[in-house]
Structure formats: structure tokens, C-alpha cells
């Protein structure tokens, strides 16, 4: 492949990733509107869904929120019936945050149809293709997370308006 063709392909992937991220944001915004929560709350529900029950401190670390903001968020999610606090059976000193059955059924309602369409799309690709796609997405996620951490540490301010 020529350097020009490769550059065009890389540009296409870059633009497709950005467009995918924007489309995912649109889905999340629509879900937030339906269940009347904010994006941060939805992101934390997603963290709990993917990783399982965790302490408030773990949720704070994984979400990038302060511990105070996380406590307020958990209170809000608990009042909404989306999350619940419970004692860790292995260590009664720990309090774990977990999703309720209500939010699990809502996830199926809002994201189930999309998951079915993703599965249908995936059937068009070979196993080797899917390994390459998964590898790319996992590495891209790591790059995004690293870049976000760098931006938070750098405290870059936008240039002033001229």
C-alpha cells in the first residue's frame, strides 16, 4: 500500500472513531433524557455494570470523581432506584455499591436492540477480523484514557479570544 493510500486509510479510521464516539454520546444523551439522569450518573452506572459491585472509593477512582462528588452521586442513584448500598459479605466494614434489578432491565430496554444489531454486524466479519477490531479498540481506549489523564494533569487552558 502506498504512503498516500495508508494515510487516507488512517484518516478514514480516525474520522470513523470520532464519529462513532459522537454517535455513542447521542445514544447516552437519549437514554439520560428518558430516565432523567445526567451523563456522569450514566457513566457510573456503566462502570458498575461492566465491573460489578465496588466501594464508593473504587467508583470514585474509576470515574475520576472526588469522593465527595461520588457520595452525592451514589445518594442520587439510590434515591432513583438505580443503585443500592450493601455490606460486603467478606468484610462487613466495607460498603459496596451495586446496580438494582430495575436498572438492569432498563439497560436491556435501552441498549438491547443496539446490541442485537452489533451482533448482526459482527457476523459479517471473520474471527481474525474481530480479533483485530477488538485489539484496535482496546488499544485506542487505553490511548484515550492516558490522554485524558495527561490533560487533567496539565491543566491546559484554552487560548483567550482575540
Secondary structure string (H, E, C) spanning 100-150: CHHHHHHHHHHHHHHHHHHHHHHCCCCHHHHHHHHHHHHHHHHHHHHHHHH
The vertex-126 CA angle with 124 and 129, nearest 5°, equals: 105
pLDDT band for 75, please (50, 70, 90 cuts): very high
How many Å separate Cα 119 from the centre of its chain?
19
> Across residues 107-127, what is the average pLDDT?
93
Q: How many percent of the chain have pLDDT more than 90?
A: 77
Q: Would you state the pLDDT for residue 54? A: 96
Averaged pLDDT for residues 6-20: 94
In whole angstroms, give the CA distance from residue 4 to residue 62.
40
Q: Would you state the cell numbers that stand for residue 51, as one nine-digit string?
A: 465491573
pLDDT value at 95 more than 80: yes
Please tell me the predicted confidence (pLDDT) of residue 149: 85
**Residue 33, pLDDT above cutoff 70:** yes
Fold of 3-122: Arc Repressor Mutant, subunit A (1.10.10)
C-alpha cell read off for 13 = 479510521
Amino acid at each position: 500500500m502506498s504512503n498516500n493510500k495508508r494515510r487516507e486509510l488512517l484518516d478514514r479510521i480516525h474520522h470513523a472513531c470520532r464519529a462513532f464516539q459522537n454517535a455513542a454520546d447521542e445514544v447516552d444523551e437519549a437514554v439520560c433524557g428518558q430516565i432523567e439522569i445526567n451523563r456522569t450518573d450514566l457513566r457510573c452506572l456503566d462502570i458498575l455494570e461492566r465491573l460489578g459491585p465496588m466501594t464508593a472509593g473504587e467508583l470514585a477512582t474509576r470515574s475520576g470523581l472526588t469522593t465527595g462528588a461520588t457520595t452525592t452521586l451514589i445518594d442520587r442513584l439510590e434515591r432513583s432506584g438505580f443503585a443500592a448500598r450493601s455490606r460486603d459479605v467478606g468484610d462487613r466494614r466495607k460498603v459496596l455499591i451495586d446496580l438494582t434489578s430495575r436498572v438492569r432491565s432498563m439497560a436491556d430496554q435501552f441498549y438491547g436492540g443496539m446490541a442485537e444489531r452489533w451482533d448482526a454486524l459482527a457476523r459479517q466479519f471473520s474471527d481474525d477480523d474481530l480479533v483485530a477490531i477488538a485489539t484496535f479498540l482496546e488499544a485506542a481506549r487505553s490511548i484515550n484514557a492516558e490522554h485524558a489523564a495527561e490533560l487533567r494533569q496539565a491543566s491546559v487552558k484554552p487560548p483567550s479570544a482575540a
